[in-house]
Amino acid sequence: MRVWESAMMLSDTFQPLYSLSGLGVGFLVGVTGVGGGSLMTPLLILLFGIHPQTAVGTDLLYAAITKAVGTGVHGFSGGVDWKVVRRLSSGSIPASAIALVILHVLGAPSSVTTQLITRSLGVALLLTAPCILFRARILQRLGAFSEALTDRQTHILTVLVGAVLGLLVSLSSVGAGAIGVTALLVLYPRLSTAQIVAADIAHAVPLTLVAGLGHWLLGSVNPAMLVSLLMGSIPGIVLGSLFVGYIRESIQRAVLATILTIVGARLI
């Protein structure tokens, strides 16, 4: 009887369209490496008509679960620079808490918070697009600035970057990927790209978890939708990773940047 009840609960929880969307987004994440929030949150809002705060809150917990797996892989291989993670977290976690308090004070969900979250998402996407398309040029232009930084200056700037990411991620679920990686590449030119990506993923876990649980307490997380997205996205990421290298990176970047710019402009 209990087995039958569990099966019935699972069938009630499973939502095929969300899982199919998760599969598609997971595939793109696996192929391109772009953060899922940049694609998933706008999709939930614009295609499915999900309330912006519910879309953001659900996506944050979705990101926390998927990136925890990535952190485990990087952590066991010794690729995470935990000093960078601590510096980022010392700025992002307090900023995330402040953002959640602001949402609570404004009254969530409400028309005010809806507008705030939607516009924050639009801004985050418009910042993400150039970070994807022009990352090499940005790093080249700021090369002299990066080399001139002292360790103290790098520490302070990393905390400030973390604070900005904390606000953006808590309000939009976007920012911890392309924006975070680009900023860290500027601040830590002596670290390899693999180390930077590993630190960014590791930092995203506590940030998205804190922000996601905060949204849960505000009542803006849909558990059934979360399960359905994960059921599609996890195999999607695995499948997408098998196609890495089949599409030219320049084409991937151009297409993604164009999509994010159009969606970001529409949301503002």
Residue pLDDT tens, the chain, 268 long: 444 444 444 455 667 888 898 888 878 776 666 666 788 888 889 888 898 999 999 989 888 887 776 555 545 555 678 999 999 999 999 999 999 999 988 876 678 888 889 999 999 999 888 988 888 899 999 999 999 999 999 999 999 999 999 999 999 988 777 888 899 999 999 988 878 878 887 888 899 899 999 999 988 889 889 989 888 888 887 787 677 667 777 777 787 788 888 888 888 7
Q: Decide if 81 contacts 191 (C-beta within 8 A).
A: yes
Q: CA–CA separation, 25 vs 36, rounded Å?
A: 7
Tell me if residue 245 falls in helix, strand or coil.
Answer: coil
Q: Which helix (H) or strand (E) holds 124?
A: helix 111-133
Q: CA–CA separation, 135 vs 236, rounded Å?
A: 26
* Cα angle 36-37-41, degrees, rounded to a multiple of 5: 120
DSSP state of 222: -
Q: What is the DSSP string of 149-176?
A: --HHHHHHHHHHHHHHHHHHHHHHS-ST
DSSP state of 259: H
Q: Decide if 26 contacts 232 (C-beta within 8 A).
A: yes
